[in-house]
Amino acid sequence: MRRRFGTAGLDLLDTDPSESVTLSQAVQSSTEEGARPDLDGEAGVLFGAMTGSVVGLRYYTGVVNKREMVSLVREPHNPYDRNAVMVANVYGNQVGHIKKELAAPMAYIMDNNLAKIEGVVPYGKTNKFSMSVTLFFWGEEENRAAVTTKLNHCGFRFDPVKGFKSAKAPGSSLQEMLSKNLVAAVPLTAEQMKNSFDKMFDDLMADKTREMEAADAVFTPLLPHQKQALYWMAARENNDHLPPFWEQKGDLYVNVLTNFGVKQRPERVLGGILADDMGLGKTLTTIALIMSNFHDGRPLLLDKADQKASSSLLKRRRKDPIKTEKAASPKKARTAEKASSSAGGAVLLEDAGFAAALAGGSAKSKKTKSGADSRISTARATLIICPLSVLSNWLDQFEQHVRFGENLSVYLYYGTERCRDHNFLSRQDVVLTTYNVLSADYGNKESSPLHKVSWLRVVLDEGHVVRNPNAQQTKAVLDLSSERRWILSGTPIQNSLKDLWVLMAFLKLKPFDVKEWWNRVIQRPVTQGDRESLKNLQALIKGITLRRTKTSKVAGKSVVELPQKKMFVQRVTLSEEERQEYDLAKTEGQKVIGRYVTEGTVLTNYADVLAILVRLRQICCHPGLLGSYARVSSGDTSAPSDLQERLISKIRLVLSCGSDEECAICLDSLRQPVITYCAHVFCRPCICEVIRSEQERAKCPLCRAHINTKELVEYPGDKETGTSTSGKEKWRSSSKVDALMGRLLQVHGEDPAVKSLVVSQFTRFLTLLETPLRQHGFTFTRLDGSMNQRSRVKAIAEFQDSSPSSPSIMLLSLTAGGVGLNLTAASRVFMMDPSWNPAAEDQCVDRCHRLGQTRDVIITKFIVKNSVEEDMMRIQLNKKELMEKTFGSKSVQDQRQSRIEEIKTMMAL
DNA sequence: ACCGCCGGGTGCC
DNA sequence: ACCGCCGGGTGCC
């Protein structure tokens, strides 16, 4: 049986390992989301705390310190009492049982998932037979009554808040906890989360500036920031420190967060997270690490000159010179194995550990290594797991960066013909596989070859893909056995703090590899805004992560030198005809909105207001953008009788043209837009969160009308009505189109090799632009949100191609593609219309202003004089300033008010 | 456990 | 003596 919990055998006091494994597994399984939904992932509220007693201490070996956190585990099959609740320390060693009177209501509460109960031992062990424990009850508000009633029925009562002083685990007195709970738990958005993490990494660049040269076998010269990463990674792998939050106190090693202590030194964490931004060369750095830091800082392969020159000195440490394994394809594998087994034992090496490693660790040895010093490693191979899409990239990069002729054996463990002999695998230098293959193998547990090898190093490429703790692939990854572990990821936090748990578990950062401790000590307190815990999290991440963004600076110098980025605003004057049309629409809009303003119903009619603004913005681009339905907008008169229909037409009005409206709750671009019966558009997750937290009392954040989940109408998607726009009608230009064409011709005249991005929020505008582009003989391609994956990839590849026949222009919708989208072929950007969301514009520019860009990037923003566009620009600037100043912490009321002000300004009201 | 509880021994002071 | 009191045995769930 494999030890998931892993450390049971480490406690010296633990006399019967087999028993403790079972125990550990009980702890483990009780914290896993299993058959019943669990609470510990969700924050919940603290119902209260009380003191209980732990009895039966003399029968168990688990020890606890003063203020140590303990876990409570139900034992429904206990032969003496089916209500039994056992108490275990952080390593899962049993300490005792909860006294039976109290165990009765606790069992009821735990079995019905009414609350999550957590224990802290206030005094540690004061006598041989029993001790007190402070119990904290956490749960959903709706279960509070049930919990209190049950406890009262059994004669128990929560301690009064005021008199409560004892049992203070760090940062967790009842008072503190209750007061924290009064602060509403506002979940961070993905963007806020990303920002706070980028900030977290920022201040720790300074001490990570030492460099290390790669081994000679690495052909490609490393850039300075890559040498820094290499130094740091090698140092992490060779470090001899206690893991974060562990301290030596007397003869004990104590975790200062949980106050748990053991005699056994906790295992070192060799590895971490390389979280550099895309394009900084994580792959190359990792290859350099593999080549340069084999055992004890020595390179994996010694080059020929070195071998000769120092052969006598190095005799005992040098690699097998007759090494012939080179199996890049499964077919070669078998022959390679034969060759190596005949040559394998030929060299005598005195350094047992090194020798064993060179020969390749054979079967996974039972984890007997205990002391940090006495371990003898037999591991040789590095296992790299990556998504299928980058598999070939790894092979290419090994090929490209490792000096030609080196006997590096890289085995691609992929395809039905893959060699499943774990002895063979453990003799490789590198084994490359995918998450799919790994978890497929893991499906037949007994026979998963990758799980039989003791790896020197396991690397999770794009490590953020391992996120769901219940997924087979996660279990497969966590169950690998390795000395050193690395996670490569540009975005270690995809959505929330929750995502980090798997990464901590993979790195075996005790005690966070067990979810209960991660939740209790980090996740819940941090999400509830506890500063102390956030500091702890920062310290934890800081210690194990290296992250540089393309804008990171090291000692005042940019990590990556990017070409310049220059932004120009080109003001466009409307033609007389356009101006007339614009002013007409504006007067009409002023009337409508003016009425709303005097009535105080701007927010109630927000969808209409937006539609009017969109209409004005469209006229600025091209009067032909006004689709037939857009003209119906201003009043409410001609709307269809059916409410559903009317709402759909409204939401379509706001979104169909591809405009980038934002959600009033998250202030970010709309995701999964829905419209309420009161005609306001939000992200579905945002508005659902409001409804969930306010229940029946839920009101629309914009107009305070009652809302509920059933009354949300989805945006049915853009049905391109494909009417007037397709070239049939007589082509008519616009001032802005003319301005663009003038620029494009100029650019082309100066240097035909320069490529441009033409960006708009209105996809219909992009379509319109196709006509003049064709007329002037430009070749172009297009990328917008409506395209499927296949055609996207094709469009990007075409555009990035440098051949003369490749398109020189890409029509790009502002929000198309993720952050990863790489359009470095372009060095000119034309922003056809301003967006409400400045971040969206920055992100868009970053698609070409990124690593790999060789030219200066010139951005031209077209802004129509005396129009909403100018107002939008101004508002954007204010917003940016405000965000920087206040961290976006404006109250909802303020936001509403400033929205109204914005609209009034724009409509000159 | 320097307790509580149980049950046997014991019985004026 | 159908009590009180004493002191030894005993002890999680």
- A708-741 tens-digit pLDDT: 888 888 876 654 444 444 445 578 899 999 999 9
- Chain B positions with an atom below 7 A of a protein C-beta are 1
Residue A756 lies in a domain: yes
- Nearest nt by C1' to A127 Cα: B1
The separation, in Å, between residue A295 CA and nucleotide B13 C1' comes to 88
Give the residue, A559 or A767, on which the prediction is more confident. A767
The separation, in Å, between residue A245 CA and nucleotide B11 C1' comes to 66
Same domain, A401 and A330: yes
- Nearest nt by C1' to A96 Cα: C12
- Nearest nt by C1' to A85 Cα: C13
Phi/psi-derived region of residue A6, left when phi > 0, alpha when psi is between -120 and 50, beta in every other case: left
pLDDT value at residue A509: 95
- Please check the confidence at residue A491 and state whether its pLDDT lies above 60: yes
Provide the pLDDT confidence category of residue A364 given band limits of 50, 70 and 90: very low
Same domain, A24 and A158: yes
The Cα-based distances of A532 to A176, A203, A514 in angstroms read 11, 18, 21
Same domain, A148 and A283: no
Same domain, A355 and A496: yes
pLDDT digits (tens, 9 = 90+) for A427-453: 999 999 999 999 999 988 678 999 999
Of A398, A410, A388, nearest to A325 by C-alpha is A410
Single out the residue in A540, A557, A574 at which a domain terminates: A557
For A131, the domain range is 8-182
CATH code: domain of residue A839: 3.40.50.300
- Please check the confidence at residue A395 and state whether its pLDDT lies above 70: yes
Single out the residue in A557, A583, A614 at which a domain terminates: A557
CATH code: domain of residue A46: 3.30.70.2330
pLDDT value at residue A499: 82
- Please check the confidence at residue A95 and state whether its pLDDT lies above 60: yes
Residue A719 lies in a domain: no
3 state DSSP class of A737: helix
The answer to whether residues A169 and A120 touch, using CB atoms and an 8 Å cutoff, is yes
The separation, in Å, between residue A111 CA and nucleotide B7 C1' comes to 38
Give the ranges where A92-223 is alpha helix by DSSP (H).
100-111, 144-153, 174-182, 190-202
pLDDT digits (tens, 9 = 90+) for A269-328: 999 999 888 778 899 999 999 999 998 788 888 644 444 444 333 333 333 333 333 333
- Nearest nt by C1' to A126 Cα: B1
Q: Which residues lie near nucleic chain C, judged by CB under 7 A? A: A 55-56, 58-59, 78, 80-81, 83-84, 96-101, 103
The Cα-based distances of A483 to A354, A434, A449 in angstroms read 14, 20, 17
Q: Which residues lie near nucleic chain B, judged by CB under 7 A? A: A 55, 127, 129-130
Residue A597 lies in a domain: no
Provide the pLDDT confidence category of residue A772 given band limits of 50, 70 and 90: very high
Provide the terminal-to-terminal Cα distance of chain A, rounded to the nearest Å. Answer: 75
- Nearest nt by C1' to A103 Cα: C13
The separation, in Å, between residue A127 CA and nucleotide C6 C1' comes to 27
pLDDT digits (tens, 9 = 90+) for A99-154: 999 999 999 999 999 999 999 999 887 788 999 999 999 999 999 999 999 999 99
pLDDT value at residue A25: 40
DSSP designation for A113: T
The separation, in Å, between residue A17 CA and nucleotide B11 C1' comes to 55
The answer to whether residues A398 and A386 touch, using CB atoms and an 8 Å cutoff, is no
Residue A663 lies in a domain: no
Same domain, A829 and A754: yes
Same domain, A837 and A792: yes
pLDDT digits (tens, 9 = 90+) for A232-254: 999 999 999 999 999 999 999 99
- Nearest nt by C1' to A55 Cα: C12
Same domain, A239 and A178: no
- Nearest nt by C1' to A129 Cα: B1
- DSSP lists the bridge partners of residue A120 as A69, A134
Give the residue, A96 or A336, on which the prediction is more confident. A96
Same domain, A172 and A287: no
Of A447, A501, A452, nearest to A474 by C-alpha is A501
The separation, in Å, between residue A477 CA and nucleotide B5 C1' comes to 54
Of A776, A785, A782, A793, nearest to A757 by C-alpha is A782
Specify the number of domains making up chain A. Answer: 3
pLDDT value at residue A832: 96
- Please check the confidence at residue A355 and state whether its pLDDT lies above 70: no
The Cα-based distances of A594 to A608, A902, A903 in angstroms read 12, 13, 10
pLDDT digits (tens, 9 = 90+) for A536-552: 998 898 899 998 877 77
- Distant-in-sequence contacts of A415-420, Cβ < 8 A, 24+ apart: A415/A330, A417/A330, A417/A331, A418/A330, A419/A327, A419/A330, A419/A333, A419/A334, A419/A337, A420/A447, A420/A449
- Please check the confidence at residue A834 and state whether its pLDDT lies above 90: yes
Residue for token digits 């890289």? A410
pLDDT digits (tens, 9 = 90+) for A835-854: 887 878 888 998 898 877 88
The separation, in Å, between residue A9 CA and nucleotide B1 C1' comes to 31
Residue A579 lies in a domain: no
Same domain, A220 and A276: yes
The separation, in Å, between residue A64 CA and nucleotide B5 C1' comes to 29
Mean pLDDT over each residue of chain A, to the nearest integer = 79
Of A98, A63, A257, A252, nearest to A169 by C-alpha is A257
Provide the pLDDT confidence category of residue A884 given band limits of 50, 70 and 90: low
- CB count within 10 Å of CB A644 equals 10
The separation, in Å, between residue A151 CA and nucleotide C7 C1' comes to 39
Instruction: Please state which of the ranges A344-348, A624-628, A794-798 shows the lowest mean pLDDT.
Output: A344-348
The tokens of A452 are what?
């039989």
pLDDT value at residue A299: 85
- Nearest nt by C1' to A79 Cα: C13
Of A691, A611, A615, nearest to A653 by C-alpha is A611
pLDDT digits (tens, 9 = 90+) for A733-765: 999 999 999 999 999 999 999 999 999 998 889
Provide the pLDDT confidence category of residue A647 given band limits of 50, 70 and 90: confident
Residue for token digits 């990037």? A857
Give the ranges where A449-513 is alpha helix by DSSP (H).
472-478, 498-507
Instruction: Please state which of the ranges A63-67, A369-373, A612-616, A896-900 shows the lowest mean pLDDT.
Output: A369-373
Single out the residue in A557, A587, A616 at which a domain terminates: A557
The separation, in Å, between residue A6 CA and nucleotide C13 C1' comes to 26
pLDDT digits (tens, 9 = 90+) for A580-592: 999 999 999 999 9
- Chain C positions with an atom below 7 A of a protein C-beta are 12-13
- Please check the confidence at residue A654 and state whether its pLDDT lies above 50: yes
Residue A227 lies in a domain: yes
Residue A379 lies in a domain: yes
pLDDT value at residue A692: 86
Question: How far, in Å, CA of A469 to CA of A515, rounded?
Answer: 9
Same domain, A333 and A481: yes
The separation, in Å, between residue A58 CA and nucleotide C6 C1' comes to 29
Give the residue, A673 or A831, on which the prediction is more confident. A831
Same domain, A359 and A391: yes
The separation, in Å, between residue A691 CA and nucleotide C7 C1' comes to 69
Could you give the percent of chain A with pLDDT greater than 70? Answer: 74
Residue A883 lies in a domain: no
Same domain, A229 and A124: no
Of A778, A772, A776, A826, nearest to A799 by C-alpha is A826
The separation, in Å, between residue A661 CA and nucleotide C7 C1' comes to 86
